Amino acid sequence: MTVGEKISTKTITLNRQVHHEYFVEETFEAGIELCGTEVKSLRQGTVNLKDSWCEIQDGEIFIRGMHISPYEKGNIFNRDPLRVRRLLMHKNEILRLFGRVKQQGYAIIPLSLYFKGSRVKVSVGLCKGKKLYDKRQDDAKRDAEREIEKIMKEKRYD
């Protein structure tokens, strides 16, 4: 790869529910440890991040609850779809996340999964849970923006 050459990224899946349930304070990029049939399954887009979360144990960060469907041509090489997978991050980033999660009640939630070049990357967010009234405020704000957008479109065509 030469200097100035762009690395292409292709989104595999997004965790759409996370912005409804949490305030995302900070995002990090992490690699993920996968086996061959899991990567082939990801290329087909058969993955679900909906109920997944990250956990730090013994200085390493793991993703739990991520479902990667078995590769149909993988037979004996397929792994458990819900197995725990290790994320690859710098040690100082993991320690910083660990401190924030333990002290201030944050959670580490995967936001998206994507290919960066030929490698699979996970975007994880340091998130704080929303209360019910926060969700209602967000819904009201979104409805107001939609209404304004609708009125602006009508005025444009008049």
Looking at the domain assignment, is residue 79 inside a domain?
yes
Looking at the domain assignment, is residue 110 inside a domain?
yes
Looking at the domain assignment, is residue 137 inside a domain?
no
First CA to last CA across the chain, in angstroms? 53
CB 115 within 8 A of CB 10: yes
Number of structural domains (the chain) is: 1
Looking at the domain assignment, is residue 135 inside a domain?
no
Q: How far apart are CA 85 and CA 68, in angstroms?
A: 11
* pLDDT tens, the chain, 158 aa long: 566 667 788 888 898 888 888 889 999 999 999 888 888 888 888 888 888 999 999 989 999 999 888 888 767 767 777 889 999 999 999 999 998 888 887 899 999 999 998 889 999 999 988 888 888 888 888 899 999 888 888 877 66
pLDDT at 4: 61
**Which residues form the domain of 59?**
9-130
Here the CATH number for the domain that contains residue 68 is 2.40.280.10
Extract the tokens encoding 153. Answer: 């479109």
Looking at the domain assignment, is residue 152 inside a domain?
no
Looking at the domain assignment, is residue 143 inside a domain?
no
Instruction: Assign 73 to helix, strand or coil.
Output: coil
Extract the tokens encoding 131. Answer: 């209360």
Looking at the domain assignment, is residue 112 inside a domain?
yes
Of 134, 124, 115, the C-alpha closest to 85 is 124
pTM over 0.85: no
Looking at the domain assignment, is residue 138 inside a domain?
no
Q: How far apart are CA 77 and CA 35, in angstroms?
A: 9
